[in-house]
């Protein structure tokens, strides 16, 4: 019976997601199940029964008028979407997860590159300590850029998903949805750890600043602040990268079709009105985080700068409602 149900799903996958189509789908499933049971009762093997049922009910064009969905058949897309297999989906998620981790390392290097001069001036007591520190800074920047370029080129072979129509079947959607739900708790934990590291980044500086110790140790404490922030951001990028990869695959099916109903809306990637809008929404929270840290460190008014998050939340909601494509 699973073979029959999977075949039925493929028959209706590209039809409009309307009550009439759902009714016809349920009716045809009942007809196929009844016919299958009759054939098995008459002595047919399961494989023979499945083959006979598919041969008898497998042409939706012939059954459309009987099922009352002739109008829906005319709304099918001009080009049939190709199937994106579970194996390909797993490979893509694995590669994009690894790519997110490498991107996180690159961002860590960018954030921490300024610690080169700070650390060398604290531990190297020579006239060239500044030059060594600047050299380390540029090496970290160059390494970060190299990692980003490498990962962009490596992942570019998945761009065909944006240029050609692809879909996942019901079984693949169900398995990926189960995996994404299982990963949700892990992602929540990693996100919490990343945020905690960013929030507590000032603790070493604050503690060392109140102690009567050498300037060198204080400088190392200031440098550690950037590593707390960098590692926190790296964890956030890596953990959310895997979740985003799941959503990208689960969003392949057009939500206006039956196949689009395989996945709940909250597990689909947000769709925006333009590429520019998608870019703006993608960098919104990282930009807010940078502004929050810059303003907080300049003013040291931590008791008030947290209000930036409240204002940003309101602005994000307003922009999202404007640029998001309606369901």
Q: What gap in Å lies between CA 80 and CA 199, rounded to an integer?
A: 49
Q: What gap in Å lies between CA 101 and CA 53, rounded to an integer?
A: 48
Per-residue pLDDT of the chain (327 residues; tens, 9 = 90+): 677 777 777 777 767 767 777 788 888 888 888 888 888 888 888 888 888 888 877 777 777 777 777 777 666 655 567 888 889 999 999 999 999 999 999 989 988 888 888 788 777 766 676 788 888 889 998 999 999 899 889 988 888 887 787 888 877 888 888 898 899 889 999 989 988 888 888 787 777 767 767 667 777 777 888 888 889 889 988 988 898 899 888 888 766 666 666 666 555 555 566 667 767 776 777 777 777 777 776 776 766 777 887 888 888 888 877 776 544
Q: What gap in Å lies between CA 99 and CA 289, rounded to an integer?
A: 22
pLDDT at 89: 92
Work out the end-to-end distance of the chain between its first and last CA atoms, rounded to an integer number of angstroms. 33
DSSP for 79-143, written as a single string: SPPEE--HHHHHHHHHHHHHHHHHHHHHHHHHHHTTHHHHHHHHH--STTHHHHHHHHHHHHHHH
pLDDT at 273: 62
pLDDT at 260: 61
pLDDT at 98: 93
pLDDT at 272: 63
Q: What does the block give as tokens for 36?
A: 């299958």
Q: What gap in Å lies between CA 279 and CA 159, rounded to an integer?
A: 16
Look at the block and give the residue holding tokens 């964890």: 235
pLDDT at 29: 83
């Amino acid at each position: 019976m699973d073979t029959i149900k999977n075949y039925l799903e493929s028959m209706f996958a590209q039809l409009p997601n309307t009550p009439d189509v759902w009714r016809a789908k349920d009716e045809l499933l009942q007809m196929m199940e009844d016919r299958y049971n009759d054939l098995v009762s008459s002595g047919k093997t399961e494989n023979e029964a499945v083959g006979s049922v598919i041969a008898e009910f497998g042409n939706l064009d012939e059954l459309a008028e009987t099922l009352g969905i002739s109008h829906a058949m005319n709304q099918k897309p001009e080009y049939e979407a190709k199937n994106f297999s579970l194996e390909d989906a797993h490979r893509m998620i694995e590669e994009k997860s690894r790519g997110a981790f490498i991107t996180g390392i690159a961002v860590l290097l960018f954030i921490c590159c300024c610690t080169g001069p700070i650390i060398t001036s604290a531990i190297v007591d020579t006239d060239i300590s500044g030059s060594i520190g600047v050299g380390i800074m540029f090496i970290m920047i160059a390494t970060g850029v190299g990692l980003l370029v490498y990962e962009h080129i490596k992942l570019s072979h998945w761009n065909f998903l944006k240029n050609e129509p692809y879909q996942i079947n019901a079984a693949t959607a169900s398995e990926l949805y189960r995996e994404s739900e299982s990963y949700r708790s892990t992602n929540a934990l990693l996100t919490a750890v990343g945020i905690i590291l960013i929030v507590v980044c000032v603790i070493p500086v604050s503690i060392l600043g109140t102690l009567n110790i050498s300037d060198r140790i204080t400088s190392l404490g200031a440098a550690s602040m950037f590593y707390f922030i960098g590692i926190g951001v790296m964890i956030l990028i890596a953990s959310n990268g895997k979740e985003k990869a799941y959503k990208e695959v689960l969003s392949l099916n057009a939500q206006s079709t039956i196949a689009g109903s395989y996945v709940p809306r909250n597990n689909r990637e947000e769709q925006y009105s333009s590429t520019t809008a998608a870019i703006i929404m993608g960098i919104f929270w990282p930009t807010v985080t940078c502004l929050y840290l810059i303003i907080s460190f300049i003013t040291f008014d931590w008791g008030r700068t947290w209000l930036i998050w409240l204002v940003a939340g309101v602005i994000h909601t307003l922009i999202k409602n404007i640029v998001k494509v309606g369901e």
